Structure 1
């Protein structure tokens, strides 16, 4: 091989090496840099107000009944007619139940009469294991005193179902009745709750009922109504203490 042939061979190798090196450089420059995705912020914990000195431990929880993780979530509904529309948390609950409240709220199905109950075992995005609907009757003639019976029903149904930690939402405002304070309502609810508890204790002491199951009660309220709700519960506790 002549010196000229060797020179030509060396020159032919150089472009090939440059091409390979250039290709590697281009490929490395096009690899996107790794960017760590920010972790989604966790939902804020609901505000909780502990109620002191009650015969049964209680708390006010600022949370919608559509969002609770409860063994039993109790909600209340006025009579099932077109004039009683849903608002707020009841709309949220209905949406998570995929419109079930709209379909069931009919006089021929769930009439919503005072004291009427219906137990649901929801699936889907509603996180409560069971939902108990309690009828409130006519919205036009509603008074807070009606909730005393509802409170007693809430206790007895939770006890019958074996639920130690029930959640209760009056949902009166979300049912369209706004002329009473949440404290007026909660005072009556808790009065009825205590009445049912006292009845159960008496029956148990005489061997006519099992040991009470209910350990505490969580009472739901909106952010602007938590203080009034707390005051009503404390009034009911004070009344109970004087008996």
Structure 2
């Protein structure tokens, strides 16, 4: 009888422990998924706020939306390993523009070569942003996170050239099904952006450039990648501010 009681107590304690561990793991998993619309100012560089936002590029409010695409392969943003349509910001962006992004890519009018750019002025009411800038990422099989330093620089230079006071940036790499290091990609975008910003500021001080002051950059991320991206962004901000 005593053995039975001891066994039952042991079983109950073990079960409770397992449930607590499972609950902890579940809470951790949920904690890593930010809610849609979550926003944070990760920090500032040279007076420019670097914000994070859980939002898709079609609905993020900004003067300019930047989105990145690889060279076209049939169904690349719609079929696995691309993210499902309900989580895929590039699909939403394409849908909002009635398929024009896919049409441009498929026809070769915008090939998506590395650092190639295309500016689109969307009809009023189709996107939350006033302008859309596509930046090519080249061949998906040759992608490396280092490319995002140059992509960040191109985005910043184009934003300053267009005279916007803020812009939103979506790498869309996960949307395309590329398993990339989220924190490093986000950090490289920030590093490249402010390398370009500081160059233009230097030229402005020499009266060789005249750009409108930039108030903020908004870096978009999906719910599952928001926190990890933020870690990379904060690391990049700290590195940049250490140089200033």
Superposition TM-score, scaled by structure 2 size: 0.77
Q: What is the aligned counterpart of 2:38 among 47, 69, 77?
A: 47
Structure ID, larger Rg = 1
- Alignment of 1:125 onto 2:117: no
Task: Give unpaired runs (5+ residues) of structure 1.
Answer: 1-43
1:45–1:78 Cα change, 3 Å: closer
Rounded to whole Å, the distance in 2 between the matches of 1:236 and 1:54 is: 10
SS at match of 1:52: strand
- Partner Cα distance (1:53, 1:199) in 2: 17
SS at structure 2 position matched to 1:195: helix
- Structure 1 residue 203, shift from structure 2 partner: 0.5
Partner of 1:152: 153
Give the drift of 1:85: 3.1
Counterpart contact for 1:65–1:169, Cα < 8 Å: yes
CA–CA separation in structure 2 for the residues paired with 1:242 and 1:127: 35
Q: Classify the secondary structure of the residue corresponding to 1:50.
A: strand
- Find the residue that maps to 1:140 and give its secondary structure: helix
**1:112–1:134: 8 Å Cα contact kept in structure 2?**
yes
Displacement after TM superposition at 1:81 (Å)? 2.8
Residue 108 (structure 1) shift:
3.0
Alpha-carbon contact 2:164-2:212 (below 8 Å) kept:
no
Shift of 1:107: 6.1
Q: Which has the higher contact order (CA 8 A, sep 6+)?
A: 2
Q: How many residues align?
A: 199
SS at match of 1:105: helix
Shift of 1:219: 0.6
Gaps of 5+ in 2: 1-34, 83-87
Distance 2:126 2:52 in 1: 23
Matches within 5 A, 1:125-144: 125-144=126-145
**Which position in structure 2 is the counterpart of 1:92?**
92
Partner residue, 2:52: 60
Moved more, 224-233 or 81-90: 81-90
- Contact kept? 1:69, 1:127, Cα under 8 Å: yes
Cα distance per residue 1:138-179 (max 9 Å; x no partner) = 11111111000000011000011111110111110011202x
CA distance in 1, matches of 2:152, 2:146: 10
Q: How does 1:9-20 map to 2 (within 5 A)?
A: none
User: Cα deviations across residues 43-99 of structure 1 (Å, max 9, x unaligned)?
Assistant: x98111111243321110111112122211100000123273344111111111111
Inter-partner Cα distance in structure 2 for 1:221 and 1:211: 28
